[in-house]
Structure 1
């Protein structure tokens, strides 16, 4: 409806714009005719002065008529655009009437005035929406009427005025001929554009061709004829002998034919717009009737729908009220596929869901009550066990303090033993050094004894040789007789001394040999004593290391026991905290029992079928206590 209204308003606007556009086109036509007549009068042609004056009066009346329309437009753009050509026309008419203007000046002034009138024509067409017609046939017709034909008539009018002026002078310069030739070219261009626009309108609406084509063809041929006339008798010949009045008459006939086409097209446009307005009004009334029928039908359907919906809705309201009061035993009919049936199915689903929820809640309440009772019993048992555990932890803490003191004493004794072992190690080391020196001394004595044995062996050899020599001397003395008797005595004594020396040397050797053997035995014992002292030193050093390890272990054990003591203290604190938490849990379980009873009272308002009643809740006093068993960890329950 809104779009139809807009279309109708646009068509009415176009319809209202036909008279103003026809008026401004009349102003343009008369101004063009006045331009041609003025050129003849100013050029000295006789017999046209009265015609010009009569044409001037027509132009004045047309200006006054359009000026009255402009005041009704109340459009600033048109007011501003119209003020200039209106003022220029008054000045131009006065100058022509007084003869204070030449032919070229008149032509120039008229030619400058008419484009401004064409601008006013464009603004007027736009004001009434003629340039925005949505239909192809009327749009192309409007384009040819208001935007092509006016410019064609203007260019043809220029050709008329320019040619009339030249013919009035019976001469034309090369520049004049070039100007006129250019005007003829523009006339040809405008003629082609207008012809194209009209053909588009004819194609869009073949009925227009029957009514306008013959008239347009006549104007088309006349325009081509006067263009050829201007070329033949003004542009090309050296002397201008063609009568100016005849030229003006033929060009005016062509221009009048163009305006006649415009007027005929305006009449057809008016008919088409009237038909469009009539059709749009009929369409609007049809749409209004259709909408009224639709509204009536919608009202009837709404009433029928309301009746078909109200009863199921009343039933749904009744069921909802029963559900709100806690009665979940309503029988709900869910037959049908309408929206109300869907509503009843949704209510039944809600009712069934509430039944399931209430049954589940009642069963859960009983389970919560039993669980809270078990928690309460377990908390009491856990509380007593926690107290016993706290007592055991206190005793363990006291025992750990005693063990800590004992370990500290052991560590101190180990430290003292380590110091004593260190002293023994020093003494054993010094004893080892002394034994080593004794071993060295015994070795030196053993070496000296061996040298003595060697010397005694030499002495024993000398005694043996002396005994042999004494024996030989005695033999020689016996051979000598009396002369050798004294020598024999000496030899006997020497032999006796040699035997005694040998005997003494033998005894000394035996003593020395025995002494050497004893020295070797002593040396062996000293070596064994040195080894024993070395072993003693090594053992003492090992004992020193062991004592150091014992001391470090005792220190670490003391530190570990202190940490264990701290851990036991922390466990004692945690046990006390656990005892407090147990008391809180006991209070929470009692609160849980109270909440379960409250929840039971809350769901008791719902009425269910016996098959959906579920569990009956037992109060805490009816529950059988069950003792919770605790897992023993490291002997502590």
Structure 2
């Protein structure tokens, strides 16, 4: 970090904040987008099932009409032809939706198979054996119900995580269609028996089995709707009337079949009445079917809108947070860079010996404290520099004085050196003079010694001379003393003169030595 500039540091900080935020935002966006897409898929599947219900309902009616017609109810012929046109129109409308829905629902092959089966049923409905015709109708309707289940799976309707919509979707795509199919089969079988005026044991057993299946799926339907209503009371309120109408119409159909066909030894009701009562029950069931579609559509739409709003709010919030972070980091970067530039400029001016510079940082953060401390540092440094300059001036003056004293000392030392040289020269000369004096003194000493020896010799001579003539000297002493000085006196005078000469020599040598020493 210490190697990075502040812009690089702030950029790195921004990336550290941005990357987790983008990751979290991406997760949220994917979650809400996935939820919205899932709900859109459910809505598409619901639209497909809504259209697919129509050909299934009309094929069920075509089966009942065909069974009644083939059992002698000629009045159903024109209605059969009109129903066929209606079924063709239903498949055409469904095919138009399939062109766009098949990409997600994967329904094209199944729908093509249904249309092909329908074409076969139309072609053989009047000529083929009745049991085969009914079986073909049942197979076609069964494949139609399988297509509803397939759409419910591919669209996610029966996989919805919400409990209310899950039970409503399961009821819509599984329980109620199966119940309606069993009701349609019972209608066809009962109207056929009424048209014949008799109920064979085989037909009776099949009809009993159908009634049992109707009871089973009616109970499952009621249970699923109760759970959905408990989870979402608003759904229960909305579906209350369709459920009551369905239950009443179903009960009326069951009562008719049991009383007039299963429990009666003779059939006293015509096929039109049976067909109409059963059709009314089935119609009420389809009204409930339409109510379920409407409720699920409302739930899916509301949840899709909520998911889209959540997605939009998430994107907007994420964008707002990112914008706030960008602006915050940009402002922080600009503020720090501006303060750093001020500090850098001030330090450069200080480097150029400008101690008048001061920092003025307007922020109220640590940079402001740095600016205050910087100004205190410059003030302290300036005062210290003034003290150093004052001390330096004093030191300069003292240095000049020391230099002057040193120069004088050097001059004295030079004079002393010269005097010392003169003294050395004088000493050298004095030494030579002393040498000469010593030589002279030595000569004088030798001369004095020689004179002393001569004096001794002279004294001896005198003594030797005076001793033989002592007597004579005694006789004639008076006469000699009176007449003229003797030989001894002459010698003494000679010695005295020589002694004076030596004395003058010594004095002259001493005077010369004194002159040379000075």
Interval of TM-score (by shorter of Structure 1 and Structure 2): 0.5 to 0.7
Shift of 1:239: 2.1
Q: Which residue of 1 aligns with 2:117?
A: 88
Q: Matches of 1:6 and 1:313 in 2, distance apart?
A: 48
Q: Matches of 1:106 and 1:283 in 2, distance apart?
A: 53
Q: Which residue of 2 aligns with 1:195?
A: 222
1:215 aligns with 2:247: no
Instruction: Provide the secondary structure at the position in 2 that maps to 1:134.
Output: coil
1:288 aligns with 2:312: no
Shift of 1:9: 1.3
Q: In the alignment, which of 105, 108, 122 is matched to residue 79 of structure 1? A: 108
Superposition pairs for residues 487-502 of structure 1, below 5 Å?
A: none
**Counterpart contact for 1:81–1:120, Cα < 8 Å:** yes
**Counterpart contact for 1:42–1:102, Cα < 8 Å:** no
**Counterpart contact for 2:178–2:217, Cα < 8 Å:** yes
Report Cα offsets for 1:413-462 as digits up to 9, x if no partner. xxxxxxxxxxxxxxxxxxxxxxxxxxxxxxxxxxxxxxxxxxxxxxxxxx
Q: Which residue of 2 aligns with 1:364?
A: none
Q: Which residue of 2 aligns with 1:70?
A: 98
Q: Which residue of 2 aligns with 1:524?
A: none
Shift of 1:91: 1.3
Q: Matches of 1:179 and 1:278 in 2, distance apart?
A: 48
Shift of 1:128: 2.6
Shift of 1:244: 1.2
Q: Matches of 2:32 and 2:117 in 1, distance apart?
A: 44
Q: In the alignment, which of 121, 143, 155 is matched to residue 148 of structure 2? A: 121
1:233 aligns with 2:260: yes
Instruction: Provide the secondary structure at the position in 1 that maps to 2:75.
Output: coil
Task: Tell me how many residue pairs correspond in the alignment.
Answer: 320
The change in CA–CA distance for 1:288 and 1:257 in structure 2 (over 3 A counts) is same
Shift of 1:104: 2.7
Q: In the alignment, which of 79, 87, 91 is matched to residue 51 of structure 1? A: 79
1:169 aligns with 2:196: yes
Q: Which residue of 2 aligns with 1:299?
A: 326
Report Cα offsets for 1:25-70 as digits up to 9, x if no partner. 1111111111111111111114222112111111121122223333
Shift of 1:136: 1.9
Shift of 1:198: 1.4
The change in CA–CA distance for 1:114 and 1:308 in structure 2 (over 3 A counts) is same
Q: Matches of 1:152 and 1:307 in 2, distance apart?
A: 73
1:245 aligns with 2:272: yes
**Counterpart contact for 2:44–2:101, Cα < 8 Å:** no
Instruction: Provide the secondary structure at the position in 1 that maps to 2:107.
Output: helix
Q: Matches of 1:242 and 1:307 in 2, distance apart?
A: 94
Q: Matches of 2:88 and 2:110 in 1, distance apart?
A: 18
**Counterpart contact for 1:81–1:119, Cα < 8 Å:** no
Superposition pairs for residues 76-475 of structure 1, below 5 Å?
A: 78-96=107-125, 99-303=126-330, 305-306=332-333
Q: Which residue of 2 aligns with 1:622?
A: none
Shift of 1:308: 7.5
Q: Which residue of 2 aligns with 1:34?
A: 62
Q: TM-score, normalization: structure 2?
A: 0.57
**Counterpart contact for 1:171–1:239, Cα < 8 Å:** yes
**Counterpart contact for 1:160–1:247, Cα < 8 Å:** yes
Shift of 1:167: 1.4
Structure 1: unaligned runs, 5 residues or longer: 318-335, 342-637
Shift of 1:141: 1.5
Instruction: Provide the secondary structure at the position in 2 that maps to 1:47.
Output: helix
Report Cα offsets for 1:580-635 as digits up to 9, x if no partner. xxxxxxxxxxxxxxxxxxxxxxxxxxxxxxxxxxxxxxxxxxxxxxxxxxxxxxxx
Structure 2: unaligned runs, 5 residues or longer: 1-28, 345-364, 371-518
Report Cα offsets for 1:82-114 as digits up to 9, x if no partner. 333322211111222xx3134333222211221
Q: TM-score, normalization: structure 1?
A: 0.47
Instruction: Provide the secondary structure at the position in 2 that maps to 1:12.
Output: helix
Over aligned residue pairs, what C-alpha RMSD do you find?
2.8
Report Cα offsets for 1:481-522 as digits up to 9, x if no partner. xxxxxxxxxxxxxxxxxxxxxxxxxxxxxxxxxxxxxxxxxx
Instruction: Provide the secondary structure at the position in 2 that maps to 1:287.
Output: helix
Superposition pairs for residues 501-512 of structure 1, below 5 Å?
A: none
The change in CA–CA distance for 1:254 and 1:316 in structure 2 (over 3 A counts) is farther
Shift of 1:199: 1.4
